[in-house]
Structures are given as C-alpha cells and as structure tokens.
Amino acid sequence: MSNQTYDLLIPIFTRMLPNLKAILEKAQEDAEARKIDPQVFLQARLAPDMFALARQVQITTDQVKGGLARLAGVEVPKWDDNEKTFGELCARVDKALDYTKTFKPAQFDGAETRDIELKFPQATLTFKGRDYLLNFVLPNFYFHLTAAYAILRHNGVPLGKRDFVGG
C-alpha cells in the first residue's frame, strides 16, 4: 500500500543525496587539480553570517534523519557533527542514504497528522506532520543542499545544473 509521506520523502532523498555526494567528490578532485587546500572549500561560505560548506552538508543530512524519524514516530538518531574532510562528509551522506533504506511505508501511517515538536534555544516549533514535511523538512533540505552547491560553484568548482538535479 502506498503512503503519501513515504512516497514524497524517500524518492527525493534517494535522488538528491547521491547528487550531493557526487558534488563533494567533484569538489575534492577540483581542489587536488588546482592545488587548493580542501579546507578552503570546506570552510567557505557565501556570506559571513551563513554556515560554511561542511555545516551545510551536515544540516542537509540532519533534515533527512530528523525528518524521517519524526514523521515515522521514532527517535532521531544522534550523529556527531565532526566531519572535517570531503571523505568524512561523503561518508555522512552515505550514512543518511543508508538511513532512508531502513524505513517502510507503513511506518508513516498517520504521519500527516502526527504532532511534531522541535525545541531550539530561542523557541519551540510545533507542527502537524504534513506541515512539518512541506514547510520545514523539504524547504530546509533544499536550502542547505543548494547552499552547499552554491558555495562550491562560487569557488570555481565546475558544477552545473545537471550535477545538482542528477542525470
């Protein structure tokens, strides 16, 4: 039986996470080819008040694990945010992709009406599952994924639209 929440999230995540990994691998190759210290890319940001590339990737994968877990009604796994290399970031993307494969459609039964609460130091946000999915998880996933792409493109990594959306 089909489940709308599962059918929305899993295909998006399983398509876009490999694209993110390929973008990171291309950036690592570009850094090596141009003899640029990879930390230049990993610590690059689009604006002084935005997160650096490494954090953008971490938050992108956080949207995957947090979104899936909360909508399925299971505990969100805790992952350390300590990646410092392209290899470590690629491994984190793989970990997020592997996490998507642990879910079955039935786990999302009733997800649209599930109460979701997110606690932040400055505020607590409450959602129904559908609103959380459409107004928090997906926008944040694409925002941070796009920021990661844009940081690398801005720094001269030869990326194009096909790298972002896939083949």
The model's pLDDT over 49-88, given as tens digits with 9 standing for 90+, comes to 999 999 999 999 999 999 999 999 999 999 999 999 999 9
- The reply to whether 81 falls in a domain is yes
Which residues form the domain of 128?
A: 4-161
The model's pLDDT over 108-146, given as tens digits with 9 standing for 90+, comes to 999 999 999 999 999 999 999 999 999 999 999 999 999
Residue listed under structure tokens 């926008």: 139
Q: Give the pLDDT of residue 2.
A: 53
The dihedral of CA 71, 76, 81, 84: what is its sign? negative
Q: Which residues pair with 128 in a beta bridge?
A: 115
- The reply to whether 18 falls in a domain is yes
For the cut 80, the answer to whether the pLDDT of residue 93 exceeds it is yes
CATH number of domain containing 15: 1.20.120.450
- The reply to whether 167 falls in a domain is no
Domain count, the chain: 1
- The reply to whether 138 falls in a domain is yes
Q: At what angle do helices 86-100 and 4-33 cross, to 10 degrees?
A: 160
Q: Give the pLDDT of residue 3.
A: 81
**Average per-residue pLDDT for the chain:** 96
Nearest to 92 by CA among 54, 128, 122, 140: 54
Q: How many residues does the chain have?
A: 167
Proportion of the chain above pLDDT 70, given as a percent:
99
Q: How many whole angstroms separate alpha carbon 55 and alpha carbon 61?
A: 10
Residue 19: other Cβ atoms inside 10 A: 18
The model's pLDDT over 142-166, given as tens digits with 9 standing for 90+, comes to 999 999 999 999 999 999 999 999 9
